[in-house]
Structure 1
Amino acid sequence: MKLCAAHPCFSSRSLRKGESVPLSGSDCSFSLFTSIDSVPETYWELAQRSGDYFLQRDYLQLLEDSPPGNLRFSYLLFFHRGKPVGIAYGQLLEFRAEEHIRQQDADASRLRQLVAARVQLKVLICGNMLLTGQHGFYFEPEHAALAHAPLREALRKTADLWRSRGVTVNSILVKDLDEEQANLIENWNASEYHSLKFQPNMVLPIRPHWHSMDDYLEDLSSKYRVRYRRARKKLQRVQCLELNEEQIRTYEPELYPLYRKVAESSGFCVGYLAPDYFSELKAAAPRDFRLWAYFQSGELIGFCTAIRNGDELEAHFLGFGEEQQPYQLYLNMLYHLIEVAIQERVGQLVFSRTAMEIKSSVGAVAVPTTVFLLHHTSSLLNHLIPCLVGLLEPKDAWQPRHPFRTPEALGID
């Protein structure tokens, strides 16, 4: 029997698209939209004030036009006494553990395989499953407390709307909260919700005195400077070119298979990008989205991408094949992104999760921003969630590295 049978609704009342819905115990209400074309301009004005590129219309339009993994979308607009004060973005994902969680070795636990074959859920996600970090909601600073009960109630009623349309929703998930946000909604972590930690987000703070790659290298210990020079030397026969929109469209038939190779080998994948994702993202964000391609003897062997998001540079998707190994292409991509982050004078470079040890070796630190809060409509499965997550989570044991010289060696008190 699949663990995906229909369960009772969170409340008995169904909602209509765009209807103003009062939230209990407050002067707040929200309106719900399931198509980006129906979202009012006030939503996008708030998204603009959030400073988060991944909440902007151009990016979300791209996802809705070509949804990875057949995602469906929800846009919530919050009001306080009739004034728009916040937004939330949701994705509805059909999660089949057997498909989304890769068996990374032939000796994978038999129990893990059996459980994965039976876990099948429809999950309403507040956030973006394609990204690492909290890209699911924004409230004006004076209304930050609306991330308490009002957001929780609105997500329940959003699940009601999908059910009223015949779409099963088993669980609600709010993803990748940082420590401050997790504390803000800690009252969710009661009998019906679970606070769960997954792999950390790897982030490299860009030090104010780094004005060039030489400054970064100066802060490395001698061992890691040697490692850097050895890796860069292996790249001497490889040409790195930044591609414009037209060039991305030209090379997309080669870029996409390289992306798929990496995505298919990852421990967790919720769906694949559309084949024209990179060219369409470049068209939508010509300045903020950048793609670098690596060529060896005229052959495309890999690429990496990044998005400028406010004071952050976020490493985005990449791709490469087995032929990258002699060139230490992945490590060199990390170094390249560090150089770009220094040039752009951002506050930090966000490497996201996975491959934690190699990212740690270039200076990234683990940030525990991966607090998940889940609710399941089956009380039995709700109690089993922590065990199921622990069993199904990709295992990636790693040792944090410390590539920088000590403060004493740098002459810092």
Structure 2
Amino acid sequence: METITYKIYSSVSQLPHSWDVVALENAFLQTSYLKVLEESAPTNMQCFYIGIFENQNLIGAALAQYLDLNKLESFGERDKCLKTYTRNLVFKNFASHALFLGNNMITGQNAYIFNKEIDFEKIGRILRQCAHEITAYFKKKHIKIHIVSFKDFYKNCAVELKKTAFSDTYEFNTQPNMIFELKPEWSANDDYVAALSKKYRDQYKRAHKKSEGIQTRELFLGDIILMESRIYELYYHVAKNAPFNTFFLAKNHFSCFKKHCCDRFILIGYFLDNHLVGFHTLLLNGETLETYFLGYDEQIQKEKMLYLNMLYNMIQFGIENQFKKIIFGRTALEIKSSVGAEPVMMSGFIYHNNKLIDTYFDKIFPRLEPTLVWQQRHPFK
């Protein structure tokens, strides 16, 4: 470790000139996206950018996010039950100041990237050292970090990290990441539809029939600025009805995203009688298509099967633009599996800075997780 050092930055303008060269393979760690976070992060979030050096040469980039859950008006309004009430009470009192090494806003392994092979022992030690330094920074500001989470690692990485730096840290698995692998033989959307079994081909046809009267079109920066209030209203409706939230986007988030990421950020609007009733967003991340936030009018969604049609439209975009896979994220697992996405388990590591609580974290944490009951679908022949 003597040649490996790191530096924590609080502003994108401070980052080394070679940052984007190192972060080339992950759009969520490039400066264009980090500027989006800096200018339009949720009001309860503060971001830190970590440069990792070998002999003073930048070789890695990482992201950390601090969240103040005391500033959150709601953790989620969908599930009204004793377990949800208890969970919210615990979070407010014992986990309201949280530090994430990684990106708490998205699903996927986006905590760090290197431009060369680094063994997992060094990676784990760097992440833990950064967590300690940021925790100490907040302590000087009289803010006590309650929980520290190292977020979203695929199985192979989690196994290696568990062997060394995280050997004594609680490993958790939440809902799987739904990933859609696009078949190389699909050159057009009709190829995807033909690959579906009759039951799911009928579902596809039924959804398209229901969507009659809905027009879709890509919204550009001027459009997004013009419709930003309506876009946010549709997003917020979906977000507040999620089972659990740790943040809400800023109202200028989507226009800021389009301004900085330009053609790599796609926002598709869904219109009924020239009125915006839904939207979905995508980020082009190399050969991977990343789904981002969406929103819709609940009544129109039910009548027009809007959400299902959004999934089909994302798949069509992926096929026509020759992406290899689509990251659909953690929500709505069953309906995403019905269009062909497969669950991929991801792990994280978490500890509480109260040693007594941390000792029993393996018993406490599972009791706070929302109960997940779903049936995986298998739509292909």
Same fold, TM-score > 0.5, yes or no? yes
Determine the structure 2 residue equivalent to 1:350: 327
- 1:142 is matched with 117
The amino acid across from 1:319 in the alignment is G
Aligned-pair CA distance for 1:112 = 4.1
Aligned length: 377
- Once the two structures are superposed, residues 119-171 of structure 1 have per-residue CA deviations (whole angstroms, 9 ceiling, x without a partner) of 33322211111111121111233224431323322332232233234332233
Q: What amino acid does structure 1 have at the position aligned with 2:75?
A: I
Identity of aligned residues (%): 32
Structure 2: where are the runs of 5+ without partners? none
Structure 2: distance between partners of 1:114 and 1:279: 34
1:29-87 deviation per Cα after TM superposition (whole angstroms, max 9, x unaligned): 21221222222223333223xx1111111111121122203211212212223332212
What is the rounded CA distance, in whole Å, between the counterparts of 1:88 and 1:112 in structure 2? 30
The alpha-carbon distance between structure 1 residues 98 and 34, as it changes in their structure 2 partners (threshold 3 A), is closer
AA of the residue aligned to 2:182: I
The answer on 1:61 being equivalent to 2:35 is yes
From the superposition, tell whether residues 387 and 94 of structure 1 become closer, same or farther in structure 2 (CA, over 3 Å). farther
Secondary structure of the residue that 1:68 maps to in structure 2? coil
Q: State how far apart, in whole Å, the 2-side matches of 1:39 and 1:116 are.
A: 33
Residue 365 of structure 1 is aligned with which of 342, 366, 369? 342
Cα offset for 1:97? 11
Query: Are 1:106 and 2:83 counterparts?
Result: no
1:394 maps onto 2:358 in alignment: no
Kindly report which structure 2 residues correspond to 1:3-402, keeping only aligned pairs within 5 A, or say none.
Answer: 26-48=2-24, 51-95=25-69, 101-102=75-76, 104-109=78-83, 111-112=86-87, 114-145=89-120, 146-186=122-162, 187-191=164-168, 193-324=169-300, 325-369=302-346, 371-402=347-378
Tell me if the contact between 2:77 and 2:240 (Cα under 8 Å) persists in the aligned partners: no
Q: In structure 2, do the counterparts of structure 1 residues 74 and 366 end up closer, same or farther at CA, with 3 Å as the change threshold?
A: same
Matched letter for residue 388 of structure 1: I
Please report how far the alpha carbon of residue 100 of structure 1 lies from its aligned counterpart in structure 2 after TM superposition.
Answer: 5.5
- Partner amino acid for 1:133? G
Distance 2:274 2:53 in 1: 55
Cα offsets for 1:223-248 (capped at 9, x unmatched)? 11011101100111111111111111
Write out per-residue CA displacement over residues 174-207 of structure 1, whole angstroms, 9 at most, x where no aligned residue. Answer: 101111221231123333x110000010010000
Aligned partner of residue 118 in structure 2, secondary structure: helix
Secondary structure in 2 aligned to 1:174? strand
Which moved further from structure 2: 394-403 or 348-357?
394-403
Residues 124, 39 of structure 1: CA spacing in aligned structure 2 closer, same or farther, 3 A cutoff? Answer: same
Partners of 2:5 and 2:53 within 8 A in 1: yes
Note the C-alpha offset of 1:395.
Answer: 2.6
Contact kept, 8 Å, 1:97 with 1:117, in 2: the verdict is no
CA change 1:270–1:98 in 2 (3 A) is closer
Moved more, 133-142 or 340-349: 133-142
Distance in 2, Cα, partners of 1:249 & 1:114 = 37
Supply the AA of the counterpart residue of 1:128. Answer: N
Unaligned runs of 5+ in 1: 1-24, 406-413
- For 2:371 and 2:78, locate their aligned partners in 1 and report how far apart those are by CA, in whole Å: 9
Any idea what the Cα deviations from partners look like across 1:96-133, whole Å, max 9, x if unmatched? 59855325333443644553453333222111111111
CA contact (8 A) 2:69 2:96 kept: yes
AA aligned to 1:152 is: R
- In structure 2, how many angstroms separate the alpha carbons of the residues matched to 1:291 and 1:98? 26
Q: Does the 8 Å CA contact 2:98/2:146 hold for their aligned counterparts?
A: yes
Q: 1:114 to 1:163 in 2, by over 3 A?
A: closer
* 1:376, distance to aligned residue in structure 2 (A): 1.9
Cα distance in 1 between the residues matched to 2:102 and 2:4: 21
Distance in 2 between residues matched to 1:169 and 1:393, nearest whole Å: 21
Displacement of 1:379 in angstroms is 1.1
Aligned partners of 2:130 and 2:94: how far apart in 1?
26
Q: 1:229 to 1:326 in 2, by over 3 A?
A: same
Measure the CA separation in 1 of the matches of 2:247 and 2:124.
30
- The answer as to whether partners of 1:254 and 1:300 remain within 8 angstroms in 2 is yes
Q: Name the TM-score, length of structure 1 as normaliser.
A: 0.86
1:269-296 CA-to-partner distances (Å, cap 9, x unmatched) read 2221121211221121221111111111
Moved more, 223-232 or 298-307: 298-307
Deviation at 1:347, TM superposition (A): 0.6
